[in-house]
Structure 1
Amino acid sequence: MLPADLTAKLEQLKKNLTELESILVAYSGGVDSSLLLKVASTTPVKVLAVTAASPTYPQAEIEAATRLARELGVQHMVINTNEMDNPEFCANPPERCYHCKKELFATLQELAREHGLKAIVDGANADDRSDFRPGSQAAREYGVKSPLQEAGLTKDDIRQLARHLGLPNWDKPSMACLSSRIPYGQAITAEKLKQVAAAEDYLRQFGIKEIRVRHHGTIARIEVNPSAFALLIDSKVRANLVNYFHTLGFTYITMDLEGFRSGSMNAVLNK
């Protein structure tokens, strides 16, 4: 049984979605947008889920999002976005996400018109209000709605609801785009994104769920939960890891003793 307050939030979410009548869901396959899509699929609302594919997002994530959309029985499209062609994005300023989301929402707006859909919705939640989210400015400019946020659903609420509703990715770690691994002010390139993607894929073979490999030029800074430290510094594992990271082009391989933390690159910003 769900707590009464969470049941009320779920009902509010359904009400908000139903009032929109027809929606295009900006669907990444993460737990937030997956819950949004799941709940929308239980309402009379006409739904189209759209996933953006680009070098900044791992292909495995696109494939997982596609499988789940198929399981939910909703119409789903994968589109290609071209943020890597935008010099303002590739320069990697603190407002990088604004430039990415601006292109995405412009594309989604056109798609919504083509399919006769009245609203674009994203998976922003109530916790996002207290985080540094430049992409939210782009959402406001394009009139994108955030039904989870409007219903007061926090990240913990969303995971609890996703589990209750049987979503297989209810405990999936947050997956920011690969450009977030590169320090602000250092150019985003396809080569760097490939290095990061390959490095993180390698670490996942050890069953580690929360991983970030931060790209500091010739230095790879590995962020994992402290519980995984012992595994990675095992002599054989460490030797193989170092050798593999060298083949990717990293000269120095380090482990961050503070451990995994989402958005750690924001620590340099003047809040």
Structure 2
Amino acid sequence: MAEPLLEVAGLYKTYGSVPALRDVSFTLAEGGSLGIVGESGSGKTTTARIVLGLERADTGRVTVRGRDRSPRRRGRAERLRGAREVQIVFQDPLLSLDPRISPGAVLRETLRLHFPGTDHTRRIAQLLDQVGLGEREATGLPRQLSGGQRQRVAIARALAVEPSILILDEAVAALDVCVQAQILNLLADLREQTGTAYLFITHDLGVVSQAADHLIVMRHGQIVERGRTEQVLTEPRHPYTRLLLDSVPRPGWRPESIARARRDLPGPAG
């Protein structure tokens, strides 16, 4: 079998005396798409931050194409190389975009940082076209753009460095349903065009059913279920996965029965 693009092995992380991750392990294939689902506090965002390099695990290892990302990167060149391996798109792009700088200027600065000594005009136009933005959006300011347009800018900026892996941390959670669908379709097209692998961090089972080929379910910092997305969502084996599915409102849905089922769930293992 081909070596996985991303391998996460045996991650443990505590904050003080509170365990955040317990033996978290998974792989992501070249060009693949993996969803990580769980409620707030399940450990999914901590996992993403460790993969990205914003935090370090107490123990465990993260490798991309066999190269260990766990040691702290030293030196500008090493940090830039790590950033070109893995990029992230956050839930609220307005917080990660400079309100004084236009999208075109943001892309130019990103490209200049990672690929100096080159005229980036053509590449900027290509990136804007890839995410469905035109000259008007490119020269405006973030506050003049819609939420969906700002998220497209954030995606273009992440793709500008040609990452192997793109982490999407609740990247459509703040958007309305119609815009969510547009962004998810855009991401599917971009994955086909670029071959970038996706790591979707979400609490939304509807999003993950459309966006991820494979799925892991986390609870209390542990992976409780994994498999192909369709199989996990249609034939869940763990009671927590069944609870997440039952928690999606539908005709006849009764929140009190969900609360009872939650109380009956087993606590974290070991």
TM-score, normalised on structure 2?
Answer: 0.28
Structure holding more helix per residue: 1
Where relative contact order (Cα < 8 A, 6+ residues apart) is larger, the structure is: 2
Structure holding more strand per residue: 2
